[in-house]
Amino acid sequence: MYSAMDDKRYDSLKIENIVASGAIADSIDLADIAQKIDNCELNTKRFPGAVFRMNNPKIASLIFSSGKVVLTGIRDNKSLDAGLAFIVKSMQEAGVETFETPRVAITNIVCSYDIGKYINLNKVVITLNLENIEYEPEQFPGLVYRIRDPKIVALLFSSGKIILTGGKNLEDIRRGLDFLEQKLESIM
């Protein structure tokens, strides 16, 4: 679903990170799994969960005693499915009673995009004059544009590079990008 982007308009749209979260069990003994599972670290003085790093696919997972997990570093659905299956299998082999079907869903997608031309950020601020725009070049070189529908945050840089975040699926990201390009075309 997220690996191929067939529309030529979106050629430079690239998924940088997918975050998924949910639950895989009712409870997990973190000290036990940290001892039994390779690449699973627990340091409760620094963080209340275990950190489980996988190499193939390259994903980092936060595992909590409540049975909840957060996976990050995902690039596509195939990697999400493979990583989640690996986590569940590792937990089961360590003696954790997991759910038959993990309750994990995508919570955020971060994409990069190159509009292909210079963006005059000052002109964007002056022309659009919207409350959902933040631009303080002394603090951060990008303009923050909060799109309401779909609920996406876009970081615009004068180079023409754009970072889009907050989408739960690629369709939302594309809709947000279409909305943003329409706004930018009216002032460029």
In this structure, are 100 and 28 located in the same domain? Answer: yes
Q: Is 13 a domain residue? A: no
Bridge partners of residue 58, in order along the sequence: 55
Decide: residue 177, CB within 10 A, 0-12 exposed, 13-18 middle, 19+ buried.
buried
Q: What is the DSSP letter of 8?
A: G
Report the first-to-last Cα separation within the chain, whole angstroms.
Answer: 33
Name the helix (H) or strand (E) containing 23. Answer: strand 14-25
Name the helix (H) or strand (E) containing 132. Answer: none
In this structure, are 54 and 120 located in the same domain? Answer: no
In this structure, are 94 and 35 located in the same domain? Answer: yes
Q: Please report the pLDDT score of residue 2 as a whole number.
A: 44
Query: Residue 148 and residue 176: Cα distance in Å, rounded?
Result: 9
Mean pLDDT on 120-131: 85
Q: Identify the CATH number of the domain in which residue 137 sits.
A: 3.30.310.10
Q: Which of 41, 72, 106 is the last residue of a domain?
A: 106
Q: Quick one: what percent of the chain has pLDDT higher than 90?
A: 81
State how far the alpha carbon of 101 is from the alpha carbons of 53, 75, 82, 89, 91, in Å. 21, 22, 14, 12, 13
If one counts every other C-beta atom within 10 angstroms of the C-beta of residue 80, the result is 22
Nearest to 99 by CA among 22, 21, 24, 20: 24
Least confident of 125-129, 138-142, 143-147, 181-185: 125-129
Domain membership of residue 69 as a residue range: 20-106
Q: Is 2 a domain residue? A: no
**Number of domains observed in the structure of the chain:** 2
Tokens standing for residue 9? 């308009």
Mean pLDDT of all residues belonging to the chain: 91
Q: Is 15 a domain residue? A: no
Q: Is 157 a domain residue? A: yes
In this structure, are 119 and 66 located in the same domain? Answer: no
Q: Quick one: what percent of the chain has pLDDT higher than 70?
A: 94
Q: Please check whether residue 108 is in contact with residue 168, taking contact to mean a CB–CB distance below 8 angstroms.
A: yes
Residues 61-89 have pLDDT tens digits of 999 999 999 999 999 989 999 999 999 99
Q: Residue 114: pLDDT above 70?
A: yes
Residues 171-185 have pLDDT tens digits of 999 999 999 988 888
- Phi, psi values for residue 62, rounded to 5°: -100, 130
Q: Is 146 a domain residue? A: yes
